[in-house]
Amino acid sequence: MVFLWYGLVPILGAVYYRNKSGQFRRRFDELRMKPILDYRVYRQLGSGEGIFRFIGGFESITDGRTLWIQGENLTIPVSLENTRCWLLPMQQEGETFDPGAEAPEPIRWDRVSTLTEGARVFVGGSMQILDNRWTFVSSKETPLMVIFYDCPDKVLPLKIMRAWHNRNEYWNSITPISLFIGALSQLIIAYSFLDRPAFRLTVICAMIALFIPVLPMIPPGLLFMILYRRLAWQARKLRAYSDLARLAIRRLDTDNCLPGKKYGYAKFDSLPPEVKEGKIPFLIPEFSKERRNNIWHIFGDFNEGAVLPEEPIDPFACFGAIHGNPQAITVQYKIKAYTLEIIAWLALLTGIGLNLFFIRTILFLLWGINF
């Protein structure tokens, strides 16, 4: 019972949660590479469907199922049927980079009308002719992604890539229910054998098992719990940084760039003054200090003959500096993150085992119970 309800079920929930978050980030990463739908592209649309992305402000909802998004020079309808909408938690004033940013929350499309007019909206997916007009439509093959947010457009990819790393996946929506069932099962076992002296040991073991979820919170295992939290947080931060490094290099594989611009990077043996002065941001804050290996990659849009890149017109193109090799960083940080997670769980299990041994010793000394 302890293994099933305190371990296996929450871990399966954690696997589901991590897989779900990975699918969300991969889908967004895929859609942010699609062509931007603007007035020029809209006028050139043919009779076939296509996959685009569009950014604008929330305008209204008509007939209860059509969302209208107003861009700079174009207003586009979005069919909300079979569409899952997401709400990115509001950005706090003065917010700094936080690899534990809150994950987007699913929001029912019939609640979208309660949002403030002008709220920023990102939509990506397939466009089809619906009711004699081009409309974003969701299908099983190409599901729409609709995200409401209040941060600057260029910040959205960074917040999405570091989102879902905000908490330990072990504590998910399934965990409280599973822990309750596990505790209830131990109470039932203890109560069933309470009036049977021959099963006194069974009752004691059941009562100890009842409190296993809180064992890491009491000394002497508390020190291992603190170590676990620190290592787990560091692992989540490294996973977020790995995603940010991949965010910069993914665009190199495509030619999706606005006319007259070329996305790429410049390589330097030392940190350029423009970065030190804050004109070019650090994509990974951990690399904001000088290092022995001073190889830097500066990502952005290049004009012909330019040495340093400039901030891309496309808000979803990365602009900033990364220390070292971005391709290697994505792999190294993933390996470090998984290694730290393993060490963290070993520390947690060690703390639980230490507390169980401590409780066993006390019981042995008090009642002379030999396990």
Q: What integer is the mean pLDDT of 334-354?
A: 93
Quote the tokens at residue 141.
């093959």
Rounded Cα distance, 365 and 357, in Å? 12
Which has the higher per-residue pLDDT, 353 or 92?
353
pLDDT score at 97: 45
pLDDT score at 96: 42
With tokens 């940013």, the residue in question is 101
Quote the tokens at residue 234.
């560091």
Q: pTM of the predicted model, to two decimals?
A: 0.81
Q: What integer is the mean pLDDT of 190-207?
A: 88
Q: What is the pLDDT of residues 159-185, one digit of tens each?
A: 888 776 766 778 888 899 999 999 999
Residue 224: band (very low, low, confident or very high) from pLDDT cuts 50, 70, 90:
very high
Rounded Cα distance, 222 and 184, in Å? 25
Residue 253: band (very low, low, confident or very high) from pLDDT cuts 50, 70, 90:
low
pLDDT score at 292: 57
pLDDT score at 308: 87
Rounded Cα distance, 156 and 298, in Å? 20
Q: What integer is the mean pLDDT of 327-356?
A: 92
Residues 6+ apart with CB under 8 A from 191: none
Q: What is the pLDDT of residues 50-96, one digit of tens each?
A: 899 999 999 888 877 889 999 888 999 999 888 889 988 765 544 44
- Indicate if the pLDDT at residue 291 is higher than 60: no
User: What percentage of the chain has pLDDT greater than the value 90?
Assistant: 26
Best CA proximity match to 167, nearest among 99, 213, 107, 120: 99
Q: What is the pLDDT of residues 116-158, one digit of tens each?
A: 777 899 999 999 888 888 999 998 888 999 999 988 888 888 8
Omega before 106 within 30 of 0, i.e. cis: no
pLDDT score at 95: 43
DSSP symbols for 188-225: HHHHHTTT-GGGHHHHHHHHHHHTGGGGGGSTTTHHHH
Residue 138: C-alpha distances to residues 127, 133, 195, 270 (Å): 9, 15, 61, 47
pLDDT score at 334: 92
Quote the tokens at residue 117.
């007019």
> Which domains, and CATH codes, for the chain?
32-162 (2.40.50.140), 236-331 (no CATH)
Quote the tokens at residue 75.
């207003």
| Torsion (CA) 266, 267, 270, 271 in degrees, nearest 10 | 40
Which has the higher per-residue pLDDT, 261 or 228?
228
Number of Cα atoms under 13 Å in the Cβ half of residue 233:
9
Q: Is 174 exposed, middle or buried (0-12, 13-18, 19+ CB in 10 A)?
A: middle
Rounded Cα distance, 180 and 219, in Å? 23
| Mean pLDDT for all residues in the chain | 84
Which has the higher per-residue pLDDT, 118 or 224?
224
Residue 228: band (very low, low, confident or very high) from pLDDT cuts 50, 70, 90:
very high
pLDDT score at 147: 93
- Letter string b/e over residues 236-269, b meaning 16 or more CB atoms within 10 A of that residue's CB: bbbbbbbbbbbbbbbbeeeeebeeebebebbebe
Is-contact 283 312, C-beta < 8 A? no
- Indicate if the pLDDT at residue 370 is higher than 60: no
Amino acid (one-letter) located at 335: I
Residue 345: C-alpha distances to residues 2, 103, 168, 315 (Å): 17, 23, 11, 39
Q: What integer is the mean pLDDT of 17-21?
A: 86
